[in-house]
Structure 1
Amino acid sequence: MARTTIHLPISLQRRLDDEAARRSISREWLILSILAEHVDLNVHTVFQVSTSGALVAGVYDKEVTVGTLLEHGDFGLGTFAGLDGEMVVLDGRVYQAHGSGKVTEATGEAGAPFAVITHFTPDRSGNVTDIGSFGDLEARCDGFRASDNIFYALRLHGRFAHIKTRVVNPPAPGTALTEAAKSQSEFEFDDVTGTLVGIWSPVFASEFSVQGYHFHFISDGKDQGGHVLDVRAETLDIAVEALSDYRLILPETEAYLKANLGRDIAAELNAAERGH
């Protein structure tokens, strides 16, 4: 996170410290909150387009443009219209991992049927070690979450001994996500430096989001990426933001309005997202 040094009058520092103590937060977080409110920036807000259930049902036409997404955040993940690859949003830029293995930067007019994005302002940071599997990654990240009942954004950076990703290839229109995932491309990278962009969603969100951890990867060279299936690393830097404000935009297309979203999609979504 960028840093700016300013010199405050002692009287203002005291007022800030008194108010921070009253709210039981740090002076730095109080200043950030005041600035964010002043410029109308939604801090600790997760903005989601459509639902995971709609994807499972085969509804993945263009709902918003990448340009519109970036009005609501600079960090997140999703997919592209027609399930054409995996989306990684990092530092205000949007990358598209293709089924061919190529990674490109998406234009502002590119379409997205599903995405989760936030203005990333982490409130916890540190490092995680001895990651031998995706399960280990989940366990290490658990230590940076204070609750199972809100959302979290997680950014992990470092050198990966091994990382396995998948990218869904564009299926025929209306194909269910579980069927589309059967023809996905899988990639394995060794000794690569990059970033995991992650969203953690609570159990109650399983009907409209990906329950638990959902990670996409982008290499520092911006030439390798995808939805993360497995990972190994010795040490990664981690920054985490608790997201207590959730905003959902639902599509108004005929395909979405007529889709059968009443069935239990949790098992189907888990199969598609976890690769089993």
Structure 2
Amino acid sequence: MKIQFVSKALKPLSISLAIVLQSCSPKQPAETDKPPVSDFMYQYSIIDALLGGVFDGNLTLGALKTKGDFGIGTFNRVDGELIVDQGKVYKISYDGSIREVPDTDSTSIAFVKFFKADTTFTVKGTTLDQLEKQLLAVLPANEMYAIRMKGHFEKLTSRAPGPARKPYPSLKDHLAKQQYLFNLSNTDGVVAGFLLPGYIAKVNVPGFHFHYLANDHKSGGHIFDFTAAELTVEIDKIQGYTVELNTHADFDKVGLDKDRQEELKKIE
């Protein structure tokens, strides 16, 4: 089932999104002229495995790019933040450096899809918190969305983790020692991420999850906060969801019964 959003460039944000959503066509039967996976989100591994210390995976980035051209994740050993934009995979390292990574590198967890915006709008003078509240007010809570933003950020706070060493700790304990913060100012770039519903907890991150890549490829990371002068926001409603379990041997050894939602809130 897919909602077709009408593309409009209206503001203020609350008015523009309300108009866009009101103008949506009714849900239609699944399209049969193309594989449904094209509008599905693909995920490798699950968030609770990462939280529990499963920091390695066997999925190469070359294989990941066959599943989507847009998304976020991390690398083996939690060695930096991963962002996929326009079919290219970038690593934001703990020292702030950024590079496009080869297809032979691997990921321990990643979320991607082939991005095609259903609606596009602009917003001026907003913070991350304000934007998220506006989106939550108008987007149906049970649906899933890929969100891409680009523009000028007056301030942006992000992080990237340093690589872990075996035996791997929990992600919370690792980030307590190996999280590096970046306080950026007057930066232009792209935000990639997702808005996912609460019922996918333990599998993915409920709510918003964003990574940043500066246009000059000199800064980025997992976003904690920002103040933006002007943004172009693109939203792609996700039709379905495919999860591939982590194929590394460590996945079968981690305990997944523990409730780790409080841990997730502290690090996200």
TM-score (norm 2): 0.85
Q: What does residue 258 of structure 1 align with?
A: 253
1:92 aligns with 2:87: yes
1:204 aligns with 2:199: yes
Distance in 2 (alpha carbons) for counterparts of 1:232 and 1:157? 13
What is the deviation of 1:158? 0.4
Structure 2 CA distance for partners of 1:64 and 1:25, relative to 1, 3 Å: same
Structure 2 CA distance for partners of 1:144 and 1:102, relative to 1, 3 Å: farther
Q: What does residue 51 of structure 1 align with?
A: 46
Paired residue secondary structure (2:130):
helix
**CA distances 1:180-231 after superposition (whole Å, capped 9, x unpaired):** 1112010011111101101111001111101100000001112211000110
Q: Percent identity?
A: 27
Bigger Rg, which one:
1
Q: Give the paired residue count.
A: 242
1:135 aligns with 2:163: no
Check whether the contact 2:69–2:114 (CA below 8 A) recurs between aligned residues: yes
- Two-structure CA RMSD over aligned residues (Å): 2.0
Check whether the contact 1:144–1:240 (CA below 8 A) recurs between aligned residues: no
Q: What does residue 82 of structure 1 align with?
A: 77
Q: What does residue 189 of structure 1 align with?
A: 184
**CA distances 1:151-171 after superposition (whole Å, capped 9, x unpaired):** 110001100001010001112
Distance in 1 (alpha carbons) for counterparts of 2:214 and 2:138? 23
Task: Specify every segment of 5 or more residues in structure 2 that has no aligned partner in the other structure, as ranges.
Answer: 1-23
Which residue among 156, 165, 169 is the counterpart of 2:158?
Answer: 165
**CA distances 1:61-117 after superposition (whole Å, capped 9, x unpaired):** 123010000001000000000000000100000000000110010100111000000
Task: Specify every segment of 5 or more residues in structure 1 that has no aligned partner in the other structure, as ranges.
Answer: 1-22
**Aligned 1:10-21 pairs, distance under 5 A:** none
Q: What does residue 231 of structure 2 align with?
A: 236
Structure 2 CA distance for partners of 1:137 and 1:180, relative to 1, 3 Å: farther
TM-score (norm 1): 0.83
After TM superposition, the runs of 4+ consecutive aligned structure 1 residues lying more than 6 A away are none
Paired residue secondary structure (1:43):
helix
Q: What does residue 111 of structure 1 align with?
A: 106
